[in-house]
Amino acid sequence: MKRFAFAGRICLITGAASGIGAAVALELAKRRAVLALLDVDTDGLERVAAVAREMGAEVTTYKVDLSDGGDRLDLAAEIASRHGGIDLLINNAGVTLMGTFEQNRMSDFDWLLEINLHAVIRMTKAFLPQLLARPGAHLVNVSSLFGLIAPPGQVAYVTSKFGVRGFTEALRHEIEPLGVGVTVVHPGGIKTSIATNARLSGADPDGEQAEQARRFEQTALTVPAEEAARQIVAAIQARRPRLLISKEARAGDWLIRLTPTRWWQITQRFAKRRGAL
């Protein structure tokens, strides 16, 4: 499959108002891509769109709440009418939920799964006909380091990101022979607002969930979103099937292969020695 050329290609990005999504949008604007940006945060979306337009990019924005369970067929029809279809779909939008599984309310668990997993599936289903119709199209689904390893206190998030990984890898085997490239992305610690904006679920009288978010912010945020975006765009261009971003992601991938059942105890001992716990 030929390298992906961005100039003039129609690129749809979810979660484009901030973090990795915003950074990818601006990285694609540099490459003269046509941007269709989607988020529920209209203010953030318009800020990103304004910067991209200043860079010379053609941009349309769409306010969509990915938690509402919609099939996105109307959105696909609207974008097909406006642009004739898309060449690149980046399913990036994601949220997280603090607390143990015992603490988590099922309504919050379902909310996270709808955004992190079901929306990826729904968006892919709605736009797959357009991708299949465009020679050399590409699909990117953003999983996580937690789509490789499964730490406690992140059961909902881990469930969703392992789901994204499995969905993407199985789908690749179906659609790559049909001419659509597929990349699954596993970021480790990226400097975005996902931990700051995490939903606290269930009773937390001792502030344990808030402290968990604070520790994550302090210890895991290692790669700027702009650098993550550069790596994602390079992976798309090269048609890489999998991208690990950050030392944490590469170490996690190595460790889970080395010791699938003992990796958590090993990381706990290492963290205690570093004084991170």
The C-alpha atoms of residue 230 and residue 258 are separated, in whole angstroms, by: 29
Alpha carbon dihedral 92, 98, 100, 104, in 10-degree steps, equals: -90
140: which DSSP letter?
Answer: E
Note the pLDDT of residue 198: 60
Rounded mean pLDDT for each run of 10 residues along the chain, 277 residues in total = 96 97 98 98 98 98 97 98 97 94 96 98 98 97 95 94 98 98 89 54 56 51 88 98 93 88 79 57
Note the pLDDT of residue 219: 46
pTM above 0.85? Answer: yes
Class of domain 10-274: alpha beta
Q: Give the Å distances, CA to CA, from 217 to 160, 192, 237, 276.
A: 21, 9, 31, 12
The C-alpha atoms of residue 149 and residue 133 are separated, in whole angstroms, by: 36
Class of residue 228 by CB neighbours under 10 A (exposed 0-12, middle 13-18, buried 19+): buried
The C-alpha atoms of residue 190 and residue 155 are separated, in whole angstroms, by: 20
Active site residues: 157
Report the DSSP beta bridge partners of residue 88: 11, 138
Domain range list for the chain = 10-274
The C-alpha atoms of residue 239 and residue 7 are separated, in whole angstroms, by: 16
Q: Give the Å distances, CA to CA, from 254 to 55, 202, 249, 274.
A: 39, 34, 9, 20
pLDDT cut 70: percent of the chain above it: 85
